């Protein structure tokens, strides 16, 4: 049977501009699937998140990664294209009592100002990661860590890779300009 991440990868090919042979869509949405708690913990651990960090989760879903980072004392920002997800994320951050450390923005991650981040977390799709790469390289400060659940960054070789509950998690660090 086709594994879930492979299914997402196939889906991304189906929605990619090259596969469609048409003009690039304004937005390519990754489907809403949550990272399991153990994967979230492993992502934060791989990035070495501490209270001095500002973590941006691009495509934040219900805000669980931002909430987990805020519980470690880090500042967190979640961005999601779906306003319903942002409503859930705001409710979850209130429920966890960490609203002073977290904020959420409804919008396209490609339009977001991410320059304040010291850590970026992603659980998107292969095509989205590749399209995002130039923005990460251009806008992030050297030393910013990027962690991706499930999908890599093409030929940008990860410094570290862990497998948690059958899912790969990758870490990169933005190099000096």
Ligand X SMILES: C[S@@+](CC[C@H](N)C(=O)[O-])C[C@H]1O[C@@H](n2cnc3c(N)ncnc32)[C@H](O)[C@@H]1O
Binds ligand X (CB under 6 A): choice among 64, 126, 136, 151: 64
Binds ligand X (CB under 6 A): choice among 81, 119, 171, 174: 81
Contact pattern from residue 146 through residue 165 relative to ligand X, giving x for each residue in contact according to CB under 6 A and a dash for the rest: ---x----------------
Nearest to ligand X of 53, 80 (CB atom): 80
The least CB distance from residue 82 to ligand X, in Å, is 4
Beta strands in the chain, from DSSP E residues, in sequence order? 54-58, 75-80, 102-106, 119-122, 145-149, 160-164, 167-173
Contact pattern from residue 114 through residue 153 relative to ligand X, giving x for each residue in contact according to CB under 6 A and a dash for the rest: ---------xx------------------------x----
The least CB distance from residue 23 to ligand X, in Å, is 17
Binds ligand X (CB under 6 A): choice among 29, 41, 45, 173: 29
Nearest to ligand X of 79, 177 (CB atom): 79
The least CB distance from residue 96 to ligand X, in Å, is 15
Helix (H) or strand (E) holding 64: helix 64-71
85 phi/psi in degrees, rounded to 5? -65, -40
160-165 long-range contacts, CB within 8 A, separation 24+: 160/46, 162/42, 162/46, 164/38, 164/39, 164/42, 165/36, 165/38, 165/39
Binds ligand X (CB under 6 A): choice among 47, 60, 164, 171: 60
Give just the sign of the alpha carbon dihedral 91, 93, 99, 105.
negative
- Residues engaged in binding ligand X (CB under 6 A): 27, 29-30, 32-35, 57, 59-61, 64-65, 79-82, 85, 108-110, 123-124, 149
């Amino acid at each position: 049977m086709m594994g879930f991440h492979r299914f997402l990868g196939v889906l991304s090919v189906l929605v990619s501009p090259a596969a469609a042979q048409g003009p690039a869509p304004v937005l390519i949405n990754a489907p809403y699937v949550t990272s399991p708690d153990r994967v979230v913990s492993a992502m934060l651990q791989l990035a070495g998140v501490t209270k001095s960090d500002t973590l941006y989760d691009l495509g934040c879903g219900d805000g669980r990664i931002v909430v987990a980072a805020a519980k470690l004392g880090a500042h967190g920002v979640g961005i999601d294209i779906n306003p319903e997800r942002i409503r859930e994320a705001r409710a979850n951050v209130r429920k966890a009592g960490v609203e002073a450390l977290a904020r959420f923005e409804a919008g396209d991650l490609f339009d977001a100002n991410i320059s304040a981040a010291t850590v970026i977390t992603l659980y998107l799709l292969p095509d989205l990661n590749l399209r995002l790469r130039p923005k990460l390289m251009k806008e992030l400060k050297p030393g910013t860590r990027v962690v991706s659940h499930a999908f890599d960054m093409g030929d940008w070789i990860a410094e570290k890779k862990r497998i948690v509950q059958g899912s790969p998690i990758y870490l990169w660090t933005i190099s000096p300009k």
